Amino acid sequence: MPSTVVIRRVIKPALFVACALPLLSVVLAAFGIGGASLGANPVERIQDTFGQWGLRFLCITLAVTPVRDWLNMPWLVQLRRMLGLYAFFYVLMHFLTWLILDQGFYWSGILKDIGERPFITIGFTALLLLVPLAITSTNKMMRRLGKRWKALHRLIYPICLLAVWHYYWQVKADTTEPLIYLAIVLVLLGWRAWKTRSGRASVVAAREPS
């Protein structure tokens, strides 16, 4: 297991840089640096890139606990907050790209889209649910909320399902990729359900008289 110093000074900074690479790729493409390009529809390309990475980071964040247990690497939990905040960041950037670059703050059209286009409604709901998780991600909020903090952060489960649903309804033709994400999320949630059920069964068995 890496020491606390290695995690804080090496692993976390390296992870921070790695998580920022999708943003960097968009910036480089926007300015045409290194031959990169956003293509014929730059706004759609930016929006899709941020949305896909938001969903990926949601799945990665959800996978931290199972991977920790499967590989016996308890220190991975120390990286979960950063991954979760990056998930929120990319989802927020996905929304802001739509709000500013695509809609141009045209509020009547924006509110109409949120209310009438199901995939936008679902995506907006996922973003709203992410906000309290980002706000309460600090150690101070963890201490203040106590047991309620863990219950609140279980919102990540429906958020991941909503994000996949949003992506599925947004895709016009090939739904293979959103279905792959759905399978990943269901496996991770199914493992949690199995672990919880096994833990309860063990507690009941331990209480029974021999």
Q: Kindly report, residue by residue over 120-145, the tens digit of the pLDDT.
A: 999 999 999 999 999 999 999 999 99
Which residue from 73, 78, 74, 69 is spatially nearest to 16, judged by alpha carbons?
78
Q: For residue 63, give the amino acid letter.
A: A
- Angle CA(96)–CA(157)–CA(63) in degrees, nearest 5? 95
Q: What pLDDT, on the 0 to 100 scale, is given for residue 114?
A: 77
What pTM was computed for the model?
0.91
Q: At residue 116, does pLDDT exceed 70?
A: yes
Which residue from 122, 59, 64, 58 is spatially nearest to 88, judged by alpha carbons?
58
CA pair distance 197, 147, nearest whole angstrom = 20
What pLDDT band is residue 109 in, cutting at 50, 70 and 90? confident
- The mean per-residue pLDDT over the stretch 181-205 comes to 83
Burial 71-82 (b: 16+ CB within 10 A, else e): eeeeebeebbbb
CA pair distance 130, 124, nearest whole angstrom = 10
- pLDDT tens column, 57-108: 999 999 999 999 999 999 999 999 999 999 999 999 999 999 999 888 888 8
Q: What pLDDT, on the 0 to 100 scale, is given for residue 210?
A: 46
Cα torsion 194, 200, 206, 208: sign: negative
Q: What pLDDT, on the 0 to 100 scale, is given for residue 201?
A: 53
- pLDDT tens column, 14-43: 999 999 999 999 999 988 887 778 888 899
- Cβ–Cβ < 8 Å for 184, 59: yes
Tokens of 162: 């909503």
What pLDDT band is residue 207 in, cutting at 50, 70 and 90? low
Q: Coil, strand, or helix at residue 55?
A: helix
